[in-house]
Amino acid sequence: MRQVEASLPVLHSHGYYTKPSLEELASLELVDPGYCTRVPRFTVGRFGYGSVTYLTKTDVRGLNLDDIVKFHKHEVVVYDDENDKPEVGMGLNKPAEVVLVLDGGIFNSKDVPVQRLKQSTERQGAEFVSFDIATGEWKFLVQHFSRFGFGDDDDEGDITMDDAEIHDVQKESPTNANEIELSHSLPAHLRLDPVKTREMRLLMFPDEEEAEDFGQKSSFSKEYGRPSHNSSQAMNLRSTPPVARKTPFPLLEYKHGSFESNSPGPILMVQQHKGTPLKTVKTQGFKLDLKHETPVSRNYARNIVDAGLFMGKSFGVGWGPNGILVHSGAPVGSGSDHRLLSSVVNLEKVAFDNLVRDENKKVSEELIDYTLVSPLNFHKGLNHVMKDVEIGPYKLTLQKLEANRTALSEISHGYCDIIERQLTVPELSSSTRLGLTHQVMTWELIRVLFSEREPKGQVESLDADNEEDMMQDMKDASQDVEPEALPLMRRAEFSYWLRESVSYHVQNQISSLNDSHYLQHIFVLLTGRQLDEAVQQAVSKGDVRLACLLGQAGGSTVNRSDIGRQLDIWRNKGLDFSFIEKDRLRLYELLAGNIHDALLGYSKLDWRRFLGLLMWYKLPPDTSLPNAFRTYKHFLDEGRAPFPVPLFIDEGTSEEAISCSADKHFDISFYLMLLHASEETEFGFLKNMLSAFSSTPDPLDYHMIWHQRAVLEAVGVIHSNDLHVLDMGYVSQLLCLGKCHWAIYVVLHLPIREDYPYLHVNLIREILFQYCETWSSDESQYQFIEDLGIPTEWMHEALAIYYSYNGDLSKALEHFLQCANWQKAHTIFITSVAHKLFLQAKHTEIWRIVTSMEDHKSEIENWELGAGIYISFYWMRNSLQGDTNAMTELDSLQSKNAALEELVSQLNESLAFWGSRLPVDARVVYSKMAGEMCNLLLSAVGEGATRDEQFSCFNTAFSAPIPEDLRSGHLQDALHLFTSFLSEIAT
């Protein structure tokens, strides 16, 4: 390792990287000594700045990359000191491909600056390759190195820089080697002068602790990469206004309050972008390693601005639509285990749908059907117990699978058929096929261990070994199975299952052996209980005596003790065992039942074959399965048995890099064996047993484990009400693929928890709200959810919020009415819908809506100042127009005037109450309503009315919110009436 470390280059600068990485170089050097002298396409880069890739093989031994390669803003320098630069073609001074990341904001023109970049490239003696306007990557080829970049002399008239980028602190040598200088800071990001910012902070917070370390080592201005005397100059050089901050799509918050008031909690509706790939954007910022304490990290909360501050105090991690994870930490899967402060916000999509992707990483509709839909349809077709539960004002129908152990065999075969159909899908990856094989094995094991036979059931034909032959003879002798024979029959079936499950290991190992090692061949066959093949192999080699012994393997314990006694006699007599092949002695030890002695010096044996050796050759043939499992568990606790690791780890073909400890992740088959052997009703390993890692390398895949748990609970093998991680994992998978109706079906199978009485309600309402666009656009899903007994009020409420968010307030109003949310419906009607319908002369529609709300006006706040106005208007208009169907209370002019006064008062109070929430069109409608009523009233003023009644009518009209031209006309009429009144008095 010392030699390997001496061969590695040196790189400690933060933000820099190499390809291959230093760890990969060390591994390659161990495997292939001298690899570091001939590294192909060696790359040195800095995140956010660029990279250098050498086109020929490079000798990287002992290179101090910190001193040789330096990236600055729009520039790379290799061998800054000419005295240290080797000849062309030596070291790192040789042909390479350079990539520099340019900020798009430095170019004033909208045209792609390709021509200017070409000119700059040729002027520096390099060859231009390409420029990507989306990522800002400028790529060119060089034959040797000095300094390459895009400087201020490159067409300065067309380039402007932000004040935060005028001086790059990274370009200058720091005055103190231990000082950490940040080129990105909050004042710079906000386009503020850091000196003035500091002065304002000191004025506002005089008692705040000063940054002594910065003050002692360098000026505050230098911390932000700008000399203080250039602050004003930098501000004057800014020719463009600060870039406006881009904000995401708005979130419409719909608060319910507590569920007792008809609510599960706050819901955030976000716009979904189906089929839109997650765009990768190169981010720039600082990353500060907190592993070693520095003057900055000692009090970093006040001196370093991390991503959380930009996103808000409470930001740490957040979920966006369609499984997008937003966080400010290290990227998922990066393997970084140290603390880090960063100004970079990472956007990553969580892969819930790996199980339905083929080897080309494309989603397959066939896989969706076979993996999710078909098993759920099969599950739905089984017997269920329905339980109606009242939660608040609503009632849910919860479901639970019901089955007995006699039907378990049929259920297991049904699931196996679905999985086998999935294996016929083309272009499945090898890891997927391995996982499906594991699922079939698990269902077969569930059938073997926990199914029960009918009293006069037939025994299936088995052809494994002596035990299986014995069970076949017993079946032929009698159609009735004796109870005493059932444990032996179960053991025989398990033996057959175990033989089949290890056959792939046996075949793989035999394929690596040649014919000359026939004893090894026989031993491998014995580990898989393939006795017929082992005997034939011995006979074909003329080893008749060994063939006779093999024919009795695993049978009578007398034969085992005889072979063991013979081995002891040879040892006691001092037999020289060097004259006997080691592989033959290994076979004798195995036939004698000494499995640990037989495995001495043998390559690693998987746990299933070890269990088989224990059952077939060590324990008596009549040992029950529980005793056999307990014996294996005993050896496992003593460290004398291989760990029962899952199949995907045992095979070692999984592409996923999983860091798991062998003593933490056991195969689900092992847990099923423990369940069969246990006589207790409480199990402490259920959460580990039903975790994703017990059967699949995908930590988010719970689809088949959910079905296995449901079946085991239905037949009474297990019982638990705290496995909600499993349920929610499966719900997340279904939602990711748009199967909202099946997700709700899964939620209805959740066990009832007394401490979380509203669990089902909250989950279902969350699904309905967040995935409204999906289930509402699919008629089959909509009908399926209704058939599940989900209250239609919840569905209408979700649709109402969805349409409100998308601006279709007319549809939102209808759904609010359907879900009986009268207050919300009333608000939308008054502020958004009523005035549009009125201006379109859709009075019948308005009347339908207001009358549907009128029966619940006691539940609506300020009814009289809203929809009540329209009821009063239509009633009064019909009365004034002499409608025979209208009420006949307004016979006299005085009663008509009183009704108009009441309507005018409602209109004025409504205008004052709603204020700016009423758009201009709504105010126009109010004016039209008042104007029409005033015209009808004043037209009814006849000669029979007294002057006081007439003047009172005009007075009411003047107080109404009518247009000024109409008011002027009524004023002239009133003036004419007053003049006539004066003339009458004068005469």
Instruction: State how far the alpha carbon of 459 is from the alpha carbons of 414, 452, 463, in Å.
Output: 19, 11, 12
pTM for the whole thing?
0.65
- Say which residues have a Cβ less than 8 Å from residue 409's Cβ, sequence separation at least 6: 447, 451
Vertex 497 angle, CA 496 and 498, to 5°? 90
**Token pair of 446, please?**
């569930």
Q: Where are the domains of the chain?
A: 1-149, 317-327+344-452+642-654+661-756, 485-624, 792-986
Q: How far apart are the first and last CA of the chain?
A: 128
Do residues 376 and 399 touch, judged by C-beta distance below 8 A?
Answer: no
Task: Report the pLDDT value the prediction gives residue 419, as an integer from 0 to 100.
Answer: 93
Does residue 794 have a pLDDT over 90?
yes
Does residue 827 have a pLDDT over 90?
yes
Task: Report the pLDDT value the prediction gives residue 207, as an integer from 0 to 100.
Answer: 47
CB crowding 755-783: b at 16 or more within 10 Å, else e: eeebbbbbbbbbbbbbbbbbbbebeebbe
**Percent of the chain whose pLDDT exceeds 90:** 30
Do residues 567 and 589 touch, judged by C-beta distance below 8 A?
Answer: yes
**Token pair of 570, please?**
């040879």
Lowest mean pLDDT among 64-78, 332-346, 401-415, 622-636: 332-346
Mean predicted confidence (pLDDT) in 496-501 = 93
Q: Residue 63: phi, psi to the nearest 5?
A: -70, 130
Does residue 470 have a pLDDT over 80?
no
Instruction: State how far the alpha carbon of 3 is from the alpha carbons of 37, 61, 584, in Å.
Output: 13, 11, 43
**Token pair of 945, please?**
């009315």
Task: Report the pLDDT value the prediction gives residue 376, as an integer from 0 to 100.
Answer: 95
Lowest mean pLDDT among 235-239, 336-340, 730-734: 235-239
**Token pair of 451, please?**
């199914």
Read off the amino acid at residue 909: E
Task: Please give the Cα distance from 653 to 749 (Å, whole number).
Answer: 35
Task: Please give the Cα distance from 647 to 193 (Å, whole number).
Answer: 61
**Topology of 1-149 in CATH?**
c-terminal autoproteolytic domain of nucleoporin nup98 (3.30.1610)
Mean predicted confidence (pLDDT) in 363-388 = 92
* SS3 readout for 934-964: HHHHHHCCCCCCCHHHHHHHHHHHHHCCCCH
Among 546, 543, 559, residue whose Cα is nearest residue 466: 559
Task: Report the pLDDT value the prediction gives residue 954, as an integer from 0 to 100.
Answer: 78
Vertex 115 angle, CA 111 and 116, to 5°? 95
Instruction: State how far the alpha carbon of 785 is from the alpha carbons of 341, 468, 779, 788, 909, in Å.
Output: 46, 49, 10, 5, 44
> Which residue carries 């032996």 as its tokens?
488
Task: Report the pLDDT value the prediction gives residue 118, as an integer from 0 to 100.
Answer: 86
Do residues 506 and 491 touch, judged by C-beta distance below 8 A?
Answer: no
DSSP string, 655-720: SS-----TTT---HHHHHHHHHH---S--TTHHHHTSGGGT-S-TT--HHHHHHHHHHHHTTS---
Contacts 24+ apart (CB under 8 A), 488-491: 488/622, 489/453, 489/459, 490/448, 490/449, 490/625, 491/467, 491/623, 491/624, 491/625, 491/628
- 296: confidence class by pLDDT, cuts 50, 70, 90: very low
Q: For 844-870, what is each residue's pLDDT tens digit?
A: 999 999 999 998 988 899 899 999 999
Q: For 613-645, what is each residue's pLDDT tens digit?
A: 999 999 998 899 999 999 999 999 998 899 898
- 327: confidence class by pLDDT, cuts 50, 70, 90: confident
Task: Report the pLDDT value the prediction gives residue 526, as an integer from 0 to 100.
Answer: 92
Task: Please give the Cα distance from 48 to 285 (Å, whole number).
Answer: 8
Task: Please give the Cα distance from 581 to 61 (Å, whole number).
Answer: 49
Contacts 24+ apart (CB under 8 A), 270-277: 270/320, 270/321, 270/770, 271/321, 271/805, 272/321, 272/322, 272/773, 272/774, 273/321, 273/322, 274/322
Task: Please give the Cα distance from 74 to 138 (Å, whole number).
Answer: 9
Task: Please give the Cα distance from 512 to 510 (Å, whole number).
Answer: 5
Task: Report the pLDDT value the prediction gives residue 752, as an integer from 0 to 100.
Answer: 87
Q: For 347-358, what is each residue's pLDDT tens digit?
A: 887 778 888 888
What radius of gyration do the chain's Cα atoms show?
41
659 class by beta-carbon count within 10 Å (0-12 exposed, 13-18 middle, 19+ buried): exposed
Instruction: State how far the alpha carbon of 706 is from the alpha carbons of 436, 682, 710, 813, in Å.
Output: 15, 19, 6, 40
Does residue 984 have a pLDDT over 80?
no
Mean predicted confidence (pLDDT) in 228-251 = 36
Task: Please give the Cα distance from 35 to 57 (Å, whole number).
Answer: 10
Residue 689 CB coordination number (10 Å): 24
Task: Report the pLDDT value the prediction gives residue 947, as an integer from 0 to 100.
Answer: 66
Mean pLDDT, the chain, whole residue set: 77
Among 354, 440, 431, 361, residue whose Cα is nearest residue 701: 354
Do residues 828 and 816 touch, judged by C-beta distance below 8 A?
Answer: yes
Task: Please give the Cα distance from 594 to 597 (Å, whole number).
Answer: 5
| Omega prior to 393 cis, within 30 of 0 | no
- Say which residues have a Cβ less than 8 Å from residue 416's Cβ, sequence separation at least 6: 440, 443, 444
Do residues 22 and 9 touch, judged by C-beta distance below 8 A?
Answer: yes
The H or E element that residue 148 is part of is: strand 147-149
- Say which residues have a Cβ less than 8 Å from residue 454's Cβ, sequence separation at least 6: 406
Does residue 429 have a pLDDT over 90?
no
Q: How many residues does the chain have?
A: 987
Q: Is 640 helix (H, G, I), strand (E, B) or coil?
A: coil
**Percent of the chain whose pLDDT exceeds 70:** 73
Does residue 492 have a pLDDT over 80?
yes
Task: Report the pLDDT value the prediction gives residue 631, as an integer from 0 to 100.
Answer: 93
- 659: confidence class by pLDDT, cuts 50, 70, 90: very low
Chain CA centroid to CA 583, Å: 52
Task: Report the pLDDT value the prediction gives residue 158, as an integer from 0 to 100.
Answer: 39
Q: For 904-959, what is each residue's pLDDT tens digit?
A: 888 888 888 988 889 999 889 988 888 887 877 777 665 556 667 677 777 777 78
Task: Please give the Cα distance from 962 to 454 (Å, whole number).
Answer: 88
**Token pair of 325, please?**
């994870």
Read off the amino acid at residue 764: I
